[in-house]
Amino acid sequence: MTTPQDYVQDKAAASGSSFYYAFLFLPPARRAAITAFYAFCREVDDVVDEVSDPGVAATKLAWWAKEVTDAYAGQPTHPVMQALMPYASEFRIEARQLHAVIEGCQMDLTQTRYLDYPALKKYCHLVAGEVGEVSARIFGQTQPQTTQYASTLGLAFQLTNIIRDVGEDARRGRIYLPMDDLKRFDVKAQELLDGTYSDRFAALMRFQADRAFGLYDEALALLPAADRRSQKPGLMMASIYRTLLREIVASDFRVLHQRIALTPLRKLWLAWKMQALGRF
């Protein structure tokens, strides 16, 4: 019989995500908590990505919102929430944070364009900044300033994902690059939907990459020295994601027709290097 713990472990491992490699080095309780939380994020994100009918997807996300409320009232029914709830109090995981992640996914059902960077940041905070803040608590945050570090790092991760997935998202009818950035670089939305490369597109993407690199630097500068050791899993993910972003830049942003990725072995090496040597 599959236990809730087995379920979330399988969900996290199957994703092949960079996050999974950072979890491997955590002590058992923290690893169990972050694995369950990550599985929750995957479940709600998969609703948007895998359910083609927006009405059905909205109904499923509404079910998840109720499940979170019920779980915090002591009645979790889904294996993900059953695996997560034993750690909610210990690691100060709040219901409002889980609801924020669901709210971000609900935005994906109703909004396929973002007018400007502030609008995009609001979305990114829900789906990534809040995730970073929960993760920092699970990893062992002791300083208040670490929350801002975690939120900023989450934004950097999400912008990296957006840069990597421009082509894939466009094929789903979604453009996360801010519309005023497209206008500034004279790139038409249709060019993204058609997979058309140009010098204008490369310039637009360089601008996005520079913004993301700046956020990585900003996040690392915000991390208090007292929490650097506890936050190593986040730093491992930063190492993996920054390396991925460098690969995308090196490819001259050939992201409209393919998904650029690092091999599992390389991700593990980058995670180990941060864990053992403390450097990128």
Confidence (pLDDT) at 94: 97
pLDDT, residue 263, reads 84
Strand, helix or coil at 147?
helix
**Integer distance in angstroms from the first to the last C-alpha of the chain?**
41
**Radius of gyration of the chain from its Cα atoms, rounded to whole angstroms:** 18
How sure is the predictor about 178, in pLDDT bands with cuts at 50, 70 and 90? very high
Q: How confident is the model at residue 280 (pLDDT cuts 50, 70, 90)?
A: low
pLDDT band at 16 (very low <50, low <70, confident <90, very high): low
pLDDT band of 279, cuts 50, 70, 90 = low
Say yes or no to pLDDT of 22 above 80.
no
Asked if 135 and 157 count as a contact pair (C-beta separation under 8 A), the reply is no
Instruction: Quote the CA–CA distance of 73 and 268 in Å, as a whole number.
Output: 38
pLDDT digits (tens, 9 = 90+) for 136-169: 999 999 999 999 999 999 999 999 999 999 999 9
Mean pLDDT of 109-117: 95
Return the minimum-mean-pLDDT range out of 24-33, 91-100, 203-212: 24-33
Domains of the chain: 1-110 (1.10.600.10), 115-279 (1.10.600.10)
pLDDT recorded at residue 123: 96
Q: Which residue has the tokens 């990550």?
A: 38
pTM of the model: 0.93
Q: Which tens digits make up the pLDDT trace of 125-140?
A: 999 999 999 999 999 9
Checking if the pLDDT of 81 tops 80, the result is yes
Residue 269 has pLDDT above 80, yes or no: yes
Range 9-18 average pLDDT: 77
**Residue 201 near residue 175 (C-beta atoms within 8 A):** no
Mean local confidence (pLDDT), 56-60: 96
Provide the residue type at 119 as one letter. Answer: A
Amino acid at 102: I
- At 12 the pLDDT is 83
What percent of the chain is predicted at pLDDT more than 90? 82
